């Protein structure tokens, strides 16, 4: 009787299965159905499974995928439900270098979302959406299980799962490395019955046969891409539990698959060293260098290119103002970032920020210019320096060029004035400038420059100047409508300072209140420092 009861329980659980289709663009043979995932019970023992991704399913890194609501017959999705679907789907693109752009794109959308009751929940896998066999008049994803009455937990788990498919993730129970020991006779017996009523060939395609083309992470029984299946369906009694959250491994793996351009927080402040118990001499200005090793997560495939600049300067008035932001020892895994001074200058503190890009990324080109390439430090006969920069690869149109300060060396007894900017921007070159003015003396200056296509949809830059005589500035900058479909990454740099001598040189810039629509930028001084003006550059990308 115990065995009969166990079989009855198994049959009951199997009869409650919901099928999520990994849709495949093959419609000539009805038996060539999509690979499917099983949802049985939530109280099964856990077993090994993992996030797996078909290598031929990947989208291009940084690609913006248009998502629209399918308007065909039988739609049941309310505006409120669509709002929830969008909200939870955006959790994926917040984690990786893919942009999900929801809009009224109709048949031009790569992902077309339907709400057809009775058709289950399913999605094409990654770039299968673009297969010629997939008609543009048809949906590429369906939420047949969701309704206004569905809980947020259920909506979120189903949406994350299906959009995981849309990004290229396959069902983990079909990963060839999982090695699930199916009880094939029982699986075939149960799935031959209603509500599935599948043929043996269909059962093998959906459940028993592994997907041969995949890349995968270490086994992860908590993956959102693994639904529960009953232990009785296996020979070793190991099933899996139901998962409704992105696991830590899901998050780590999708970042490796679609790695963000920035692999770290892009900011270093010498105050961090003091806060971490570093040398107290930094606070007193006796330490000449603040250095930190920055780890890239995930690592780059090769040492990246990096453009670095100054974001905060705090120096004593009683010596020349010499400070630099530098980056060296760059590898695929890490880089060393420093804010330093030299000679008799006294640095109380400073901050650097930077932008990084893959070495193979031809859209982003970086470089530097130092006035000492043209004249010695003690040659102060000219207040201006300029150089024509030729791009390693010419652009199709004049690109956007951002220039920021990375080193200044100013005479102490004259006002602290220096600026950097670009002019004469062409497809293959531009002119970079580092100037001072009035009675100021600039012994040396250096600037980093960044160039990218002016029509690059996922990037934006801007330059601002504070109002004269204002010690603290906070202003809102709104991005152009629809520029970003998610919150961008932002870096903020100094490109100009004009401060009266006789007081400490104190200036900092940063951005906050960042959304996909805009940000607040700041440029502040403090204590007795007399700021005439400051210039700020921002670079944003998503």
CATH of the domain at 63: 3.40.390.10
Instruction: Tell me which of 199, 223, 257 is where a domain ends.
Output: 257
Please check the confidence at residue 50 and state whether its pLDDT lies above 50.
no
Cis peptide upstream of residue 485 (ω within 30 degrees of 0): no
Give the Cβ contact number of residue 105 at 10 Å: 15
The pLDDT of residue 368: 98
Confidence of residue 207 (pLDDT cuts 50, 70, 90): confident
What pLDDT is attached to residue 266? Answer: 95
Q: How far apart are CA 245 and CA 225, in angstroms?
A: 10
Q: 394 lies in a domain? A: no
**Residue 8: pLDDT band with limits 50, 70, 90:** very low
What's 479's DSSP letter?
A: P
pLDDT at residue 241, as a whole number? 78
State the pLDDT at residue 6: 39
400 inside domain? no
Query: What phi, psi does 233 have (nearest 5°)?
Result: -85, 0
What is the band of 12 on the pLDDT scale with cuts at 50, 70, 90? very low
Q: How confident is the model at residue 275 (pLDDT cuts 50, 70, 90)?
A: low
Q: How far is residue 336 CA from its own chain's centroid? A: 22
| Residue 302, in any domain of the structure | no
Per-residue pLDDT for 116 more than 70?
Answer: yes
* Three-state SS annotation for 110-125: CEEEECECCCCEEEEC
pLDDT at 37: 30
Nearest to 524 by CA among 492, 502, 491, 501: 492
Question: Is 307 domain-assigned?
Answer: no
Q: State pLDDT tens for residues 91-106.
A: 999 999 999 999 999 9
With 0-12 / 13-18 / 19 or more C-beta atoms within 10 angstroms meaning exposed / middle / buried, residue 61 is middle
Task: Say which range, 236-245, 272-281, 324-333, has the weakest mean pLDDT.
Answer: 272-281
Dist. CA 345–CA 323, nearest whole Å: 8
> Does residue 369 contact residue 412 with C-beta atoms inside 8 Å?
no
To the nearest 10 degrees (0 to 180), the angle between helices 2-15 and 184-191 is: 60
* Residue-level pLDDT at 17: 52
Least reliable range by pLDDT among 58-62, 276-280, 464-468: 276-280
* pLDDT at residue 2 in the model: 31
Answer yes or no: is 224 within a domain: yes
pLDDT in tens, 509-520: 999 999 999 999
Lowest average pLDDT, out of 198-202, 213-217, 253-257, 356-360, goes to 213-217
pLDDT reading at 458 higher than 50: yes
Percent of the chain with pLDDT over 70: 83
Is the pLDDT assigned to residue 335 strictly greater than 90? yes
pLDDT at 22: 54
Give CA–CA dist 429/478, Å, rounded.
Answer: 30
What is the rounded distance in angstroms from the CA atom of residue 6 to the CA atom of residue 16? 16
Could you list the residue range(s) of the whole structural domain that residue 248 is in? Answer: 20-257
Domain count of the fold of the chain: 2
The yes-or-no verdict on residue 451 having pLDDT over 70 is yes
Q: Report the C-alpha gap between 317 and 346 in whole angstroms.
A: 8
Nearest-angstrom CA–CA distance, 333 and 298: 8
Q: Tell me if residue 68 falls in helix, strand or coil.
A: strand
Mean of the per-residue pLDDT values for the chain? Answer: 85
**How far apart (Å, rounded) are the C-alpha atoms in residues 383 and 388?**
17
Comparison of pLDDT for 137 and 32, the residue scoring more = 137
Q: Nearest to residue 122, comparing CAs of 105, 135, 139? A: 139
Tokens of 242: 């139901």
Q: What is the arithmetic mean of pLDDT over 182-199?
A: 82
- Last residue of some domain: 237, 257, 277? 257
Separation of alpha carbons 329 and 337, rounded Å: 9
For residues 127-133, give the mean pLDDT. 91
Q: What is the mean pLDDT of residues 132-153?
A: 93
- pLDDT value at residue 352: 98
Q: Which of 52-61, 270-279, 345-354 has the lowest mean pLDDT?
A: 270-279
Q: Which residue has the higher pLDDT, 231 or 215?
A: 231
Buried b (16+ CB within 10 A) or exposed e, 203-235: bbbbbbebbeebbbbebbbbbbbbbbbbbbbbe
More confident residue, 46 or 538: 538
Whether residue 280 is predicted with pLDDT greater than 90 in this model: the reply is no
In a domain, 151, yes or no: yes
Q: What does the block give as tokens for 102?
A: 């929801």
Q: Cα–Cα distance between 331 and 357 in angstroms, integer?
A: 13
pLDDT tens sequence across 415-449? 999 999 999 999 999 999 999 999 999 999 999 99
Establish if 156 belongs to a structural domain: yes
* β-pairing verdict for 215-216 and 459-465: unpaired
**Residue 309 pLDDT greater than 70, yes or no:** yes
Average pLDDT (261-268) is: 90
pLDDT tens for 377-423 read 999 999 999 999 999 999 999 999 999 999 999 999 999 999 999 99
Tokens matching residue 209: 């046969």
Q: Is 57 in a helix, a strand, or coil?
A: helix
What share of the chain has pLDDT > 90, as a percent? 63
In a domain, 338, yes or no: no
Tokens describing residue 113:
């979302």
Q: How large is the average pLDDT for residues 35-56?
A: 35
Q: For position 242, what pLDDT does the model report?
A: 81
For 45, other C-beta atoms within 10 Å of its C-beta total 12
Cα-based torsion angle of the residue sequence 200, 202, 207, 208 in order, rounded to the nearest 10 degrees: 50
Can you give the pLDDT at residue 218? 63
CATH number at residue 528: 2.60.40.2080
Packed helices 79-93 and 152-166: angle between N→C axes, nearest 10 degrees: 50
pLDDT at residue 55, as a whole number:
66
pLDDT (average), residues 289-316: 94
Residues 109 and 124: beta-carbon distance below 8 Å? no
Radius of gyration of the chain (CA): 29
Average pLDDT over residues 297-308: 94
Q: Whats the size of the chain, residue-wise?
A: 542
How many angstroms separate the CA atoms of 244 and 36, rounded? Answer: 18
Region 309-322: what's the mean pLDDT?
Answer: 95
Rounded Cα distance between 231 and 183, Å, is 10
Whether pLDDT at 358 is above 70: yes
pLDDT at 253: 83
Last residue of a domain, one of 257, 283, 312: 257
């Amino acid at each position: 009787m115990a065995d009969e009861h166990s079989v009855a329980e198994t049959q009951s659980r199997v009869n409650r299965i919901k099928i999520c289709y990994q849709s495949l663009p093959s419609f000539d043979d009805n038996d060539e159905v999509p690979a499917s995932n099983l949802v049985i019970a939530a109280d099964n023992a856990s077993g090994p499974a993992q996030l797996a991704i078909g290598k031929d399913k990947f989208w291009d890194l940084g690609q913006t995928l248009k998502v629209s609501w399918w308007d065909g017959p039988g739609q049941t999705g309310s505006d409120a439900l669509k709002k929830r679907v969008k909200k939870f789907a955006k959790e994926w693109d917040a984690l990786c270098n893919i942009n999900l752009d929801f809009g009224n794109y109709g048949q031009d959308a790569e992902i077309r979302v339907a709400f057809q009751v009775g058709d289950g929940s399913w999605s094409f896998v990654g770039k299968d959406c673009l297969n010629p066999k997939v008609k543009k008049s048809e949906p590429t994803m369906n939420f047949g299980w969701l309704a206004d009455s569905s809980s947020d937990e259920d909506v979120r788990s189903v949406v994350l799962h299906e959009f995981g498919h849309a990004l290229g993730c396959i069902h983990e129970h079909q990963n060839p490395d999982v090695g699930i020991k199916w009880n094939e006779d029982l699986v075939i017996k149960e799935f031959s019955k209603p509500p599935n009523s599948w043929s043996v060939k269909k059962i093998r395609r959906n459940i028993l046969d592994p997907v041969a083309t995949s890349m995968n992470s270490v086994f992860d029984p908590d993956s959102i891409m693994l639904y529960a299946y009953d232990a009785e369906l296996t020979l070793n009694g190991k099933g899996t539990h139901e998962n409704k959250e992105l696991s830590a491994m899901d998050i780590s793996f999708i970042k490796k698959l679609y790695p963000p351009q920035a692999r770290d927080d892009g900011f270093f402040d010498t105050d961090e060293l003091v806060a971490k118990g570093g040398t107290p001499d930094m606070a007193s200005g006796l330490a000449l260098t603040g250095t930190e090793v920055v780890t890239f997560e995930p690592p780059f495939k090769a040492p990246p290119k990096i453009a670095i600049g100054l974001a905060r300067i705090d120096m004593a008035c009683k010596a020349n103002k010499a400070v630099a932001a530098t980056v060296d020892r760059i590898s695929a895994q890490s880089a060393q970032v420093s804010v330093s001074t030299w000679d008799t200058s006294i640095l109380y503190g400073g901050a650097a920020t930077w932008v990084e890009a893959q070495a193979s990324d031809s859209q982003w080109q970086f470089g530097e210019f130092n006035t000492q390439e043209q004249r010695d430090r003690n040659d102060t006969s000219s207040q201006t320096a300029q150089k024509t920069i030729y791009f390693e690869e010419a652009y199709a149109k004049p690109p956007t060029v951002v220039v920021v300060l990375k080193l200044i060396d100013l005479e102490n007894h004259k006002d602290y004035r220096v600026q950097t900017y670009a002019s004469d921007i062409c497809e293959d070159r531009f002119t970079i400038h580092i100037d001072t003015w009035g009675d100021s003396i600039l012994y040396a200056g250096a600037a980093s420059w960044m160039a990218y296509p002016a029509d690059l949809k996922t990037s934006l830059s801007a330059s601002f100047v504070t109002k004269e005589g204002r010690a603290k500035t906070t202003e809102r900058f709104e991005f152009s409508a629809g520029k970003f479909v998610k919150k961008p990454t932002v870096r903020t740099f100094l490109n100009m300072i004009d401060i009266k001598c006789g007081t400490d040189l104190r200036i900092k810039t940063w951005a906050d209140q960042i959304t996909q629509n805009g940000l607040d930028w700041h440029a502040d001084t403090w204590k007795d420092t007399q700021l005439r003006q400051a210039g700020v550059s921002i670079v944003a990308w998503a």
